[in-house]
Amino acid sequence: MNKRGISPLVATLLLVAFSLVVGAITMTWGKSYVEKIQEPKRESLDAFKSAVIIGFEQIDDPLKEIQVKYVSGRITREEYLQKEQELLEAESNAGASLCSSDSDCVNGFSCWHKIPYGDFKGIRGSGENPGKCYSDNTISRIKG
């Protein structure tokens, strides 16, 4: 039995040295990996700062609703411009005086506090919510 091995002290030192080398390599790789993950891209950070989060149920203005639909890609630019023109035309055609019911408007016009658009059903003019007289033709085009 002439076999010789390394002493337990040297074996322990070799294992500790090997562990330290493997740990140092792992920590160096891990540090660079985590730094890459944590660095946000400047463009996405700027886009997030300028983002506006709004739900369709929070919109009570038809013009805002079509703007959000256009920005979110739900309607095309042409559809947006057409609906915007119709809404602006409806407002410009509205009577200058306020109304509280359809009877305050001339024939072919109806009283609206908030004009209807899309899912928004509108608010009719009343004593508490006076409105303006809008052409029935314009209102039907906006609803459609």
Q: Find the domain containing 88 and state its range.
A: 49-143
Look at residue 5 and tell me if it is in a domain: no
CA-nearest of 143, 84, 89 to 115 is: 143
Look at residue 81 and tell me if it is in a domain: yes
Look at residue 29 and tell me if it is in a domain: no
Look at residue 136 and tell me if it is in a domain: yes
Look at residue 16 and tell me if it is in a domain: no
Query: What would the pLDDT profile of 2-44 be if each residue is shown by its tens digit?
Result: 677 778 888 899 999 999 999 999 999 988 888 777 665 665 5
User: 130 with 102: CB under 8 angstroms?
Assistant: no
Number of domains within the chain: 1
C-alpha to C-alpha distance for 82 and 69, rounded to whole angstroms: 13
Look at residue 107 and tell me if it is in a domain: yes
Look at residue 19 and tell me if it is in a domain: no
Look at residue 40 and tell me if it is in a domain: no
For the cut 60, the answer to whether the pLDDT of residue 66 exceeds it is yes
For the cut 60, the answer to whether the pLDDT of residue 126 exceeds it is yes
